Structure 1
């Protein structure tokens, strides 16, 4: 029994030694250099620049053509407003007082006109009655002349005299009727003009009050222009309480349908870009929302870029389209723009950090067990993170760091 126990202990010790040596050898053979496999695929040669979202068209919002305007309320700056929504109101207290006064004047003018028209109607009726009475008197006088002339010459003369007086009275009455008509017409015309003026004043102030509520002309994110009334050093965007000139612009809404990517590039970068090349933009504030499009145009001449450096560098303007618009996009958002200048199909792609210069030529370190062998490669194209090479096969394990001299076999 004791002998069997000794045999078991010897076996256990031998097994422990075996597995210990095996683990030690495995650890010694494992390379301490991170590696990666070369892969095959389409390699995109890109140029990276900075860019921003820029609307081609913006619609300015103007105050009504009224003097003494003071802003009473504004939609939040940068907020999304829809066409027809109220974006600003101006203080209408004084205008409403004027509107009440103008309404009272209008009602008084209407009452005065109605009174004059009624009086003219009464006068016309009275004149018509008087005229009919005088015409009847003339007719009776003419009949009396005939009758009296038959009776005697003296009675005939008296009748003719009476006829003459009746005819003169008729003439006077006709003249009086014409005078009354002219006087009534003149008074009605005067009061009618007064009513029209009062109506025009009331309509004008009512329209001005209506215009003091400003609506968005299009859908977009509203921004407010700078108020220069306090001098250049104190200028700031328009806010509640500020005065605005009549018909002056105080806000604008970019037309989001015309949103494009704008990049400003140097002369060196300009030489690599062409209209029609695809772009991909990653916004700083919305990295999860990639923007894709194509270059639309590149300016023919340079312009100064007034940024943080002085003197300002000369740059070219590059405008690119946006394939799909998102409501989360806002003008002036910044980000990085990658322009695909070339595509290499079936390329062998390796990380750029896996290429090391040996005697001035690019090489990669190919893993062979626990050692690495330098292999010369030709760099076909390079981006910020990767490179397209020839000289190795897809799937080859290569080092990401410079191996120690003891790990390198030529």
Structure 2
């Protein structure tokens, strides 16, 4: 019996929760839900909990010293002064094209070749004719040598009256004829050489060479096209390619007549290209073209680059600042400028409130260089181009304040 009693399962009745306990559980659940809702609202709408101070915001920018010495500005385009459309003097089908756009070529390099089997054959024939003419000269010279010896013998014999005068006259005539044959052979060589030179020129006409050092700008013909000089038909091409000498790039700017008296040859300039907005290039006036465009009331002024750059390409649009004085090496570099109203001073130290991407203003020390004008000051350290700063910050604006640009909702 005792063993059976040990096998019995004794069940203890569970205690039922009191109403007060249930109320406490529900209260905790509601509190947790409220905290979660507040967190969601904070993440989605941080401005509900953070008050933001409305401020005026400015931007740190670059300023180039040349602006201080600029007399006036003019616009124009980059133009190579040495440019050519390369064509052939002969007519034929394009058989070889050695270049593509952008290739650098040297003067005399073969750019393309026309079919030239016929002129090559004529050249070889002319060369052979030169060899034949030279062989004829050797034969004539041998005959002249023999005739000269015979004449000497005949003269000795006729003086001793061993031969009659008629035989001697025959020897003289033979010598004269051989001498004339030598002169004729020499003339034949000259004629053959001239024909050979003509054949070489004909072959050269089928080879299209670069007339100067430069860069291929554009191709006008492809393999198989018929190339003809002075062509104006659709079926044939007049030029194979165009090229330019990049060392002769200049800006051709249109200068208003009213500014003409402020321009002179070798005057310093600063060139800005629309394709390279962050770059400034030194230039100088190369030429003032003495012709006025009456439709625009402008004069063409050519401005050369002092320092060429591989990034400068023909037909780029440009803006030229004509300067009153040359720029020093320091003045060729841009200044970092900030609105003067963004600078505050405390105990001899300059500060500015820089606004980050989260629209939080941080008070940072800056090193000033000099006052550029009434509204801007040059910064040596502390700020970079593109930084946003608070303008006219109030005295009670704290470090790390959440700010908002004026006018934003």
TM-score (normalised: structure 1):
0.55
Q: 1:256 aligns with which of 246, 256, 259?
A: 246
Q: Report what 2:338 is aligned to.
A: 347
Aligned to 1:325, what secondary structure does the other structure show?
Answer: coil
Asked if 1:185 corresponds to 2:179, the answer is yes
Mapped to 2, the partners of 1:302 and 1:387 lie a distance apart of 48
1:43-122 matches, cutoff 5 A? 43=63, 52-58=77-83, 61=86, 63=88, 68-70=90-92, 72=94, 73-76=96-99, 78-83=101-106, 84-122=108-146
1:197 is displaced (CA, Å) by: 0.9
Number of residue pairs the alignment of both structures matches:
320
Q: Report what 2:303 is aligned to.
A: 319
Deviations 1:60-101 (A, max 9, x none): 65656xxx5436344556341321431132443442343244
Mapped to 2, the partners of 1:75 and 1:62 lie a distance apart of 14
Decide whether the 8 Å contact of 1:280 with 1:292 is kept in 2.
Answer: yes
Mapped to 1, the partners of 2:239 and 2:390 lie a distance apart of 61
Mapped to 1, the partners of 2:148 and 2:391 lie a distance apart of 117
Q: Report what 2:407 is aligned to.
A: 402
Structure 1: gaps spanning 5 or more residues: 139-165, 226-236, 306-310, 351-365, 371-377, 405-410
Mapped to 1, the partners of 2:51 and 2:100 lie a distance apart of 59
Deviations 1:257-282 (A, max 9, x none): 22244555778999999964544434
Mapped to 2, the partners of 1:132 and 1:41 lie a distance apart of 111
Mapped to 2, the partners of 1:175 and 1:390 lie a distance apart of 123
Mapped to 2, the partners of 1:316 and 1:111 lie a distance apart of 65
Structure 2 CA distance for partners of 1:30 and 1:299, relative to 1, 3 Å? farther
Decide whether the 8 Å contact of 2:217 with 2:241 is kept in 1.
Answer: yes
Structure 2 CA distance for partners of 1:179 and 1:277, relative to 1, 3 Å? closer
Deviations 1:28-85 (A, max 9, x none): 3568999885455654598998754322333665656xxx543634455634132143
Structure 2 CA distance for partners of 1:36 and 1:215, relative to 1, 3 Å? farther
Q: Report what 1:203 is aligned to.
A: 197
Asked if 1:214 corresponds to 2:208, the answer is yes
Asked if 1:296 corresponds to 2:288, the answer is no
Say which one has the larger Rg: 1
Aligned to 1:257, what secondary structure does the other structure show?
Answer: helix
Structure 2 CA distance for partners of 1:393 and 1:42, relative to 1, 3 Å? farther
TM-score (normalised: structure 2):
0.55
1:102-181 matches, cutoff 5 A? 102-134=126-158, 138=160, 166=161, 169=163, 171-181=165-175
Q: Which moved more, 1:16-25 or 1:192-201?
A: 16-25
Deviations 1:223-263 (A, max 9, x none): 579xxxxxxxxxxx5774131169x9876531112224455
The structure with the largest helix share of the pair is 1
Q: Which has the higher contact order (CA 8 A, sep 6+)?
A: 1
Structure 2 CA distance for partners of 1:49 and 1:74, relative to 1, 3 Å? farther
